[in-house]
């Protein structure tokens, strides 16, 4: 069943806040930059803004997470004082969290520090 634009927009709000930038609407998502943090106090949260139309065109959660990863790169969307999104960082989607791993993403619970960025290599 095809989702309406309103249903898609509501789904987009789960990823972050919707804001207007001129005539454009963007969804701004949060990524916890954990990959290079040596302890909890060093973790920064990086905002990642994506045009709502491009975000809504993604057909799956995996594609939406890929967009967040792509736009989280400093060569595409520079954020002063923040690293690019990397393996080991965590994308926040409402109450859910997804750790960036070597090939894709892995949903994690509150104890996600135990999941390494390259754990997918040993999964069966």
The whole-model pTM stands at 0.77
Average pLDDT, the chain: 78
Range of the domain at 94: 5-121
Helix (H) or strand (E) holding 20: strand 16-21
Write down the pLDDT at residue 114: 54
The C-alpha atoms of residue 8 and residue 23 are separated, in whole angstroms, by 19
Q: Which two tokens stand for residue 12?
A: 């987009």
pLDDT at 10 over 60: yes
CB 71 within 8 A of CB 19: no
* Cβ neighbours of residue 25 closer than 8 Å, sequence gap 6 or more: 18, 19, 51, 52
Residue-wise pLDDT for 73-103, tens only, equals 988 888 888 888 998 899 988 888 999 988 8
The C-alpha atoms of residue 47 and residue 75 are separated, in whole angstroms, by 15
Q: How many domains does the chain have?
A: 1
Taking CA 85 as the corner, what is the angle to CA 78 and CA 17, rounded to the nearest 5 degrees? Answer: 75
């Amino acid at each position: 069943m095809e989702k309406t634009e309103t249903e898609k927009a509501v789904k987009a709000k789960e990823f972050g806040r919707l804001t207007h930038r001129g005539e454009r609407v963007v969804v701004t998502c949060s990524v916890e930059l954990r990959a290079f943090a040596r302890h909890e106090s060093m973790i920064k949260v990086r905002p990642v803004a994506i045009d709502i139309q491009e975000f809504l065109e993604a057909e799956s959660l995996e594609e939406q997470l890929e967009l967040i990863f792509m736009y989280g790169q400093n060569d595409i969307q520079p954020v002063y004082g923040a690293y690019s999104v990397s393996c080991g960082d965590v994308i926040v989607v409402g109450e859910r969290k997804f750790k960036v791993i070597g090939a894709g993403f892995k949903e994690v619970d509150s104890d996600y520090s135990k999941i390494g960025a390259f754990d997918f290599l040993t999964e069966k």
